[in-house]
């Protein structure tokens, strides 16, 4: 009898520790997501500001600048990849769930597992090849701002790395549902 009570207490303690780890991971991912929001807001501000400056110089002063277009391209790339990562965490990407919505129980979890696995394979491949491409282009400079092209392409592996983490989180939640 005493052995069962000890086992039950140990199991309860183990569950609390697991819940603590889950809360820590979820809180960490929440902080990352909030940081992404701020970074995206700053990048959108820079992108819009550089476009306004470009329009003013081109049409107001009749003297087009070269650098605002490059700044906008860099910002747009980073906004796109960071935004895609946040959408991945929210489950807000476009989906066609007409098959998934008709399934339930084990068959639904199986199909979800396959879909998560396919996404993760793609994301990991994009992290790997995106990193290789960013490293390959790091020494190349953009013509007007002289920023590293590798800095531009670094958005790809970082964005897909974040999508990988967020998809792992979603998979751990969704695949445990009954």
Q: What are the extents of the domains in the chain?
A: 2-174
Query: Within 10 Å of residue 134's Cβ, how many Cβ atoms?
Result: 20
Contact (CB, 8 A) for 166 and 83: no
Can you give the pLDDT at residue 127? 97
Using 50, 70 and 90 to split pLDDT, how confident is the model at 13? very low
Pairwise CA distance, residues 78 & 155, whole Å = 5
Q: What is the pLDDT of residues 125-171, one digit of tens each?
A: 999 999 999 999 999 999 999 999 999 999 999 999 999 999 999 88
Q: In residues, how long is the chain?
A: 178
Pairwise CA distance, residues 144 & 127, whole Å = 28
What's the chain's average pLDDT? 86
């Amino acid at each position: 009898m005493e052995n069962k009570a000890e086992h039950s207490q140990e199991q309860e303690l183990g569950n609390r520790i697991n819940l603590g780890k889950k809360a820590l991971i979820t809180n960490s991912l929440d902080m990352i997501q909030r940081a992404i929001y701020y970074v995206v807001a700053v990048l959108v501000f820079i992108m819009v500001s550089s476009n306004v400056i470009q329009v003013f110089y081109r049409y107001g002063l009749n003297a087009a600048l070269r650098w605002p277009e490059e700044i906008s391209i860099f910002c747009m790339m980073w906004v796109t990849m960071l935004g895609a990562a946040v959408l991945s965490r929210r489950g807000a990407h476009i989906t066609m769930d007409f098959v998934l919505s008709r399934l339930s129980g084990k068959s639904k979890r199986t199909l979800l597992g396959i879909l998560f696995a396919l996404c993760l394979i793609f994301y990991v491949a994009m992290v790997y090849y995106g990193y290789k491409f960013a490293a390959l282009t790091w020494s190349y400079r953009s013509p007007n701002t002289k920023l590293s092209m590798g800095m531009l392409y670094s958005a790809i592996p970082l964005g897909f790395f974040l999508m990988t983490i967020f998809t792992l989180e979603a998979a751990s939640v969704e695949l445990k549902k009954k």
